[in-house]
Structures are given as C-alpha cells and as structure tokens.
Amino acid sequence: MGFSTDAIHAGQSPDPTTGAVMVPIYQTSTYVQEGLGKNKGYEYARTQNPTREALERNVAVLEKGKHGICFSSGLGAIHTLLLCLREGDHVLLGDNLYGGTYRMLDKVMRPLGMQFDVVSTKDVAQVDKAIRPNTRLFILETPTNPVMMIADLEATGRVCRAKDVILAVDNTFMTPYFQNPLELGARVVIHSTTKYLNGHSDMVGGVVVTSDADLAARLRFLQNAVGAVPGPMDCWLALRGIKTLALRMRQHDANAHAVAHFLEEQGRKVIYPGLASHPQHELARRQMRGMGGMVSVDLGSIEEAKRVLPRFRIFSLAESLGGVESLVSHPATMTHASVPLEERRRVGLTDGLIRFSVGCEDPEDLIEDIRQALA
Ligand SMILES: *Cc1c(COP(=O)(O)O)cnc(C)c1O
C-alpha cells in the first residue's frame, strides 16, 4: 500500500461490537473476566488497551517495522529503551541530540552506572573509533535539532552492525513520510508522537519501532513492568493526527523551503537541509524524501534574538515543534538549556540561533511575519 493509505488504515478495523469506523477510545482501566484465567485477551489497561494497540500497529507499518511499542512520552520511550541495557553498559549519543535525551543519560542513567560518550554523527570513522567493547547502543537524530547535521544512516548502520551495537534513530523530525531509518540500517526507530505524528500540539506521547523480535519482547515486557504507558485518549488523538500526516508534511516541507529561501535572499545565515548551501545537502537528498519543516537561523547575538523573538505575530514563541501552527524558539535557553555550554559551542548551537517550526499556514503570511519581526 502507499503511505497515505497505510496512514489512514493500517492497524485499524471497524469496531467489532458496533461497526464504528473509527477505533473507539477504550477509556477503561480493567476488563471483566469470564472465569479464572478466562478473558478476551484483555486484563488490565497498563498491559493491554485496544486503542493503544491500533496506534502501535499503525506506526510500525509506517516505519517499515514489525513491532511498535507506545509510551507516555518520547522520553518515556527512550528511558524504556535504555532499561534494556545494564549497569556498566556504554551508550553512544549523537552530538546535538534533543536536550532531554542528553539530560537523561547525564543526570539519570549515569548515576545508576551507565556510561556514555557523545560522538559527532557527521563522521562515521569517529563513530567507529568511539565504539568500545561494552558499547551496546547508539542513539542519534538526523537531521539534528537545531543545527541540522545529517548522519549517513547506511554507513553508520554498517559500522554498528559490524560491532553488534544497536543503532537507534530518533526520527521525530523527519517522520516516516520522509525517512525510514529501519530500511537504511537502524535497528530501532524512536518518535516523540507529541510532534509531527500527532501534529496538532494537543497530546504528549512516544513510540519505539523495531523488527528485532527479542528486543521487541523485552520492550513489551518493560512497557508493562515499568508502566510509562499512554492513555487511550492520547493514543486516539495520535491515530487521528497520523491520518493527515502526508498532507501536513508536504505543506510543512513546502512552507519551510519558502521560509528558508526568503531568509537566504535576505543574506541571513540559514540552516536548512533543503538549501544547496547546506554542507550535507547531497546526503540529505539521498536518504530523505523531503526536508521537513524545521529551519534555523543565526541572528548573530543573544541581544538580537531577544529583540526579534517577541515581535512575531503568527509564529508563537514556544518549545516543541511539529504542529500545524508555526512556532519559534531559542534553543540555547529553551530546549537545549541542559546541554553544557562547551558542548553547544562545539556543534555550533550559538546564543543567536533561533529555530522555526514552520507550520501549515499560508507561506506568504509566514514570510511577511518574519520580515516584520526582523525589520
Ligand atoms: C520532543 C522530543 C523528544 C522528547 O519527546 P517528549 O514527547 O517531549 O517526551 C525526543 N526527541 C526529539 C527529537 C524531540 O523533538
């Protein structure tokens, strides 16, 4: 099936009781049992919920994986993945990762005995060198947030497979509409469904997708044993959002291209993988089917960022991304404040950098808003 057909139908069938076309919100904590050990496959809602299962099947299909396991947030998904490892195991993190992922390793997992290093995702030889005998997992994002570095997923996947390291790609920025990491060499895909998959900024959730049966079984066990499960209403919202994922992503991509070209014409320092001026533009074109809706621009100083940010009328100053409405943020003080200054400097996350999550409004209005804010 094509992407849009799968997005609308995969994993969902009319409700067996009533024929309801939409998967119902099974808002229940428990299920009646006919007798001891006799039930319909549902016992308690932390363990099983039909609305959640529909979302898990749907995202697994879109990401070309066999198993989807949903969580209460993107970080809940990443935490549960880390719990598949043990004390003393070593994790590699891509540089310029989502601040919360870095914070989890630094402030939560390291005190529990997990080791980690940060490595540049631009250079596969460096990744190879950074892998230790006890390295079990490499978590990366591509493009990264907010400096839009691209990792060569095929080359990185080869290096990780050769050394039996699980490559986990956080695909929140691209979504399966533009990039399928499992087909390029990753063993695991992670999403914050909070962002583009849901797309309407009205829930928080996460998902892990893999075709590795052993890993999926462990994650399924931990989903229940640790309990960071999403509620049925949030799963239903994500399911509904995904039905229009293809339409939305096409508009995000077109609008982001328009915004990026406008900023470049104004002589601004723009970072967008869709621009020929992006140092990894060719790699981006090779492994992505589109460039997404995130655009960063370096205004030169924190003073200029402070002057410009309150002036927007359509772009709202807010954390998060991926909704139909346009947002603007200041990564150094907002999403990436927990990343140490030296680390931010090293990847080019300057204090003057602002990041647009370009929404689905009319592109002329977005460009006019940026023009008047920068004036
Ligand atoms: C938002 C985000 C996360 C964390 O997801 P939550 O749903 O907020 O817990 C992880 N990775 C990326 C790339 C994100 O943008």
Looking at the predicted structure, is the pLDDT value of residue 340 above 90?
Answer: no
C-alpha distances out from residue 226 to 82, 102, 191, 204, Å: 12, 21, 19, 18
User: Measured at the alpha carbon of residue 127, what is the angle toward residues 181 and 184, in degrees to the nearest 5?
Assistant: 15
Give the residues across from 71 on adjacent strands: 206
pLDDT at 61: 98
Question: What letters, b where the CB count within 10 A reaches 16 and e where it falls short, cover 151-180?
Answer: bbbebbbebbeeeebbbbbbbbbbbbbbbb
For ligand 1, atom 5, the nearest C-alpha belongs to 74
* Burial (Cβ within 10 Å: 0-12, 13-18, ≥19) of residue 56: buried
- 121-154, pLDDT tens digit by residue? 999 999 999 999 999 999 999 999 999 999 999 9
* Burial (Cβ within 10 Å: 0-12, 13-18, ≥19) of residue 304: middle
pLDDT at 339: 82
Query: Residue 313: CA atoms inside 13 Å, Cβ hemisphere, count?
Result: 10
User: Is residue 362 annotated as a catalytic residue, yes or no?
Assistant: no
Mean pLDDT of the 244-251 span: 98
Looking at the predicted structure, is the pLDDT value of residue 337 above 90?
Answer: no
> What is the pairing mode between strands 90-94 and 115-119?
parallel
For ligand 1, atom 7, the nearest C-alpha belongs to 74
| Distance in angstroms (rounded) separating the CA atoms of residues 46 and 36 | 20
Looking at the predicted structure, is the pLDDT value of residue 183 above 90?
Answer: yes
Q: Which residues line ligand 1 (CB under 6 A)?
A: 73-75, 98, 100-101, 141, 145, 170, 172, 192, 194-195, 204, 206
Beta strands in the chain (DSSP E): 67-71, 90-94, 115-119, 135-141, 166-170, 188-192, 206-210, 269-271, 294-298, 316-317, 327-329, 353-357
User: Is residue 15 annotated as a catalytic residue, yes or no?
Assistant: no
Q: Which amino acid is at 86?
A: R
- 256-280, pLDDT tens digit by residue? 999 999 999 999 999 999 999 999 9
All domains in the chain, ordered by first residue: 3-242 (3.40.640.10), 245-374 (3.90.1150.10)
For ligand 1, atom 8, the nearest C-alpha belongs to 74
pLDDT at 228: 98
